[in-house]
Amino acid sequence: MPEYLVRGVPVQFPYDAYEQQVLYMGKVVQALEERRTALLESPTGTGKTLCLLCATLAWTERYTAKNAAYSSQRIGYSEKAKAAAKAVGLGDPTALAYNARPLIIYASRTHSQLAQVMKELKKTDYRVKSAVLGSRSQQCIHPEVSKYTGNAINLACRRLVRQRRCSWKMKTEPGGMVHLPEEIVDIEDLNRFGHKERVCPYYLSRMMAENANIVFVPYQYLIDERKRESLGLSWEGSIIIFDEAHNLEQVCAGSASFDLTVGQVTSCMEEVARCIERASSGSASQPQSLMVKQEGESSIGFLKQLESLLSVLQRMANAMHSWSIPSQGRTLPGKYIFDFLNKCGIGSLVWNIYNKTLGDVAEMLSEEGSSGRHMGKPRNGSSATYIAEIFSLAFRTEDPPSVMAAPLHRGYRVHQYIKKLSNGDLQPTLGFWCFVPGTTMNVLSGLKVRSMILTSGTISPMKSFAAELFLDEPLTLENRHIINPSQVCVGILPLGPSGVPLNFSYKTRDSPQVKDDLGNALVNFGRIVPGGVLVFFSSYWMMESFIDRWKSSRKGGNSVWEGILRHKHIVVEPKESAQFQQAFDDYKRKLDIPTHNGCMMFSVFRGKVSEGMDFSDNMARAAIIVGVPYPTITDPKVQLKRQFLDDQPTAAGESKLTGDIWYGQQAARAVNQAIGRVIRHKDDYGAILLCDERFRGGGLQKQLSLWLRDFIRVCPNFGSAAGTLSKFFKDMRAASGRHRNPVNATKGVDTALETTSQFRSGSFFSCQPSQDSHSLAIPAAMDLHNCSDASALAINLPVRTQRRAPPSGSLLMDALDGELEFAGVERQLKSKECTTSTSHRCLDPPLDVKRRQQRATGVESDAKEFLSKLQEVLSKEEYRQLSELLSKYRENRNTSTFVECLFELLLPNREHLLADFTVFLPKKDRNWYHEKVNGLKAKENNGSGLKQAKRHSKKGLEAWILKSSTNQGLTNNKKLKRSN
């Protein structure tokens, strides 16, 4: 395994490291050496997780070796041991203080992300003791307790453990004869191990954590004070790593905030009343938790506490019902929370007493539920637990966190509003919202940890992120990507296929023209982009609004929705998180269905698709960004956050994070996170399409990730975007060795699209500036899926092996033959003239050859545009029929029958293409052609031609082709006999 010396630390890395990876590991080692906080951004796919693990483990390994060597000197070990200390660069041993190996606490957003991290750890040569910690709801395997939810499962578990009635937990105690897993196990592995060995995974993980070198936890367990204390870890001198830290700001603010509805207060009152009823019924029927209370406490005293608590809750509910709340809500300073609670009888001196009583209520109802003695509406004490947590959180903000500091409640706002519940009820609600997320990070720093490392693929802008989390002068890194520039194609699309400006701001996003043009663009992209395509909308409401329009709006007989489905399956990200896995599995399944060109998933920014999901390789060849995902401007939290930032004082000479700047940064981070779904490793490739003219502004581009900015190009029109996109995927397929079969009639337009695109990357929407100045210009208003040139049709149809002179007419197929012939004439002339005399330059072609070349070039250009339009409206089967029709027409030249079949193939609502076809007919047939078209149109308008058209399109067309083949075969036989 390769080894790299990073700032004096030998790091074992499983692969040949890129420059960006060595740079990243260097920042990690520097942060650990200097006991500093680091803020590191490295794009998705650069191997940041592996770099982070290897660098951290290598440093702790060296640190432990230093301490071991110094320890041997202190206790008088041999000179050999002292030499070992010198060999590892110990220096002066008297300058070192002995410490144990620092504990690494690795936190990420979810257990599924932690499982991926542990999989990366297995790739390394570092064999360390590890543990993964979760909640009882995730790890309990007791057949009865595991049925509980919320806090009830904690209470039920503790009760069984206290009564020594859980055999699973008893196996983790001394003498329990449990064998710890030796390999690295994630939470699912640990649960399977628990089922197999009949041992509790929850307590087993705690047991493993006592001796672990690295502990994996969801970062909610570090941010939430109550959960953090339950872990029982040693924090002093530890190393805390926050992976996927881009949304840490929101998580910190959310964990320090609460919303209390009057319904939750009423529910808690019902729980307390039930406990009063049980306590009044006599000790004989009371649960065990009421039989033994605190020293000197009687059942009568406990009953009085319950009655006092019920009275407090009643005053709280009455106060909330008495509020006169305007429609926009009412905002008050953070200290109002104490005025409100004091009026209800909950002051700073008694809230602890009420909290203990609420805990007893929750425990009593948990025991009651498990005994089955109370039937009816289930009450597991969840409301009592929630009210207790609210009291604790509120009173933690009453005093300053340190001397000379302001009280924490100054970073809060109280907001009274009416909340609409899922069942439609409207309830008065008290919101206590934190707007200073850095207070949580300050608490972690106060635990005397050695270093904190915050990393993600999308942290930028760095300065404001550090300011929001109170990170004092952190080490920072904005890394570039390890991929080749040719592996990514990034374009800003300000215009749709019809030239409609794409602007999805509040004022224009409901425009039918904007919706339709975006839909037509997706139809085009569905044809061009292979595999999976992720489309991101700002909200579920916006996504549903666009989908409704695309399903109902019809042009030419087909809806936009049906147009997309012709090329790709569609999966929509569900609102309910419980349904997401099913949708994700459906998306993966539909990617491999051969009848379509992959699958398209409609999703939302900040949803599950955009947050941490792995869409590597063919699962996401493109991310389409629809609009700029600013937070909802009417959201009271957003409004108060902006106002809060604007009201903060700024020291002289320091730049201020204003509400407007914060508002724009939230949108940029959401875009960065969604873009990260495309490029997942060094060999991956894909396209990123920013569909909104507002991205042209420099302000938004500067807030995108550093690695992305170099690739961004603005497309002058939709045609140039589609052309470059088509060439990009053709080039990437060729580079990766995944060549398609040659185009044939059964493959239809999709194969031709992938094999024959002739676009050149210009100065727009290209990964690298093109050296070819002869790029194909495409009209801005052209609604094309792809533009294959005339040679595409030449490949798709049988090519004559015998050359003939070009006819005088401008027939489409003659133009193709002429193109081949003129190219051959030019080659022959140049070859002949150059070989006659090497001392003279090659002569220009004769004048008649030039004219023939010019005429062929003009017809070829018309053919290119007409073919692109045909590919736009025809299905694969219809395109196959057209290919056969043209092939047979080349052989028999029956213009009348061919035009009639062509017309009926384009029914219904495709007659506009017939006018474009006129240029490919001989001049002598054009008047007759117009009469024929007008006559057939009249029949269709009268309804008499529709049945005939349908019948001819299916059976008549096939019969005509078959008849033409038979006649041609007879003709060939006659010629053969004459030649014999």
Residue keyed to tokens 């031709």: 752
Give pLDDT, residue 635: 93
Average confidence score pLDDT of the chain:
77
What is the per-residue pLDDT across 644-658, written as a single tens digit (0 to 9) for each? 999 988 776 677 889
**Are 713 and 490 contacting, i.e. CB atoms less than 8 angstroms apart?**
yes
Give pLDDT, residue 148: 82
Give pLDDT, residue 863: 63
Burial group, residue 241, by CB count within 10 angstroms (0-12, 13-18, 19+): buried
- Number of neighbouring beta carbons within 10 Å of residue 357: 21
Where residue 477 falls among pLDDT bands split at 50, 70, 90? very high
> What percent of the chain is modeled with pLDDT above 70?
70
* In the predicted structure, residue 900 carries a pLDDT above the cut 90: no
Q: Which residue has the higher pLDDT, 35 or 965?
A: 35
* In the predicted structure, residue 227 carries a pLDDT above the cut 60: yes
Q: Quick one: average pLDDT of 583-598? A: 91
For residue 530, whether the previous peptide bond is cis, meaning omega lies within 30 degrees of 0, is no
Cα–Cα distance, 830 to 843 (Å, whole number): 7
Give the range among 87-101, 179-193, 574-588 with minimum mean pLDDT.
Answer: 87-101
* In the predicted structure, residue 116 carries a pLDDT above the cut 80: yes
CA distances from 57 to 34, 64, 98, 118 (A): 16, 10, 19, 13
Q: Which residue has the higher pLDDT, 800 or 384?
A: 384
Reduced 3-state DSSP string for 483-544: CCHHHEEEEECCECCCCCECCCCCCCCCCHHHHHHHHHHHHHHHHHCCCEEEEEECCHHHHH
CA 668 vs. chain centroid, Å, equals 14
**Are 599 and 591 contacting, i.e. CB atoms less than 8 angstroms apart?**
yes
What is the per-residue pLDDT across 764-780, written as a single tens digit (0 to 9) for each? 343 333 333 222 222 33
What is the per-residue pLDDT across 525-538, written as a single tens digit (0 to 9) for each? 999 999 999 999 99
Q: Which of 42-51, 87-96, 743-752 has the highest mean pLDDT?
A: 42-51
**Checking DSSP bridges between strand 38-41 and strand 475-478, what pairing results, if any?**
parallel
Question: Does this model's pTM top 0.95?
Answer: no
Tokens standing for residue 171 = 């196996």
* In the predicted structure, residue 318 carries a pLDDT above the cut 90: yes
Q: Quick one: average pLDDT of 677-696? A: 92
> What percent of the chain is modeled with pLDDT above 90?
42
* In the predicted structure, residue 848 carries a pLDDT above the cut 50: no
What is the per-residue pLDDT across 596-649, written as a single tens digit (0 to 9) for each? 899 999 999 999 898 868 898 899 999 999 999 999 999 999 999 999 999 988
Where residue 55 falls among pLDDT bands split at 50, 70, 90? very high
Give pLDDT, residue 878: 72
What is the per-residue pLDDT across 176-195, written as a single tens digit (0 to 9) for each? 667 777 788 889 999 999 99
Residues in the chain: 980
φ/ψ of 535, rounded to 5, equals -115, 120
∠ Cα 959 965 971 (to 5°): 135
Give pLDDT, residue 734: 87
Tokens standing for residue 953 = 């399109």
Residue keyed to tokens 């439609």: 424
Give pLDDT, residue 685: 93
Give pLDDT, residue 85: 53
Q: Quick one: average pLDDT of 407-416? A: 93
Give pLDDT, residue 380: 58
Where residue 836 falls among pLDDT bands split at 50, 70, 90? very low
Q: Which residue has the higher pLDDT, 696 or 971?
A: 696
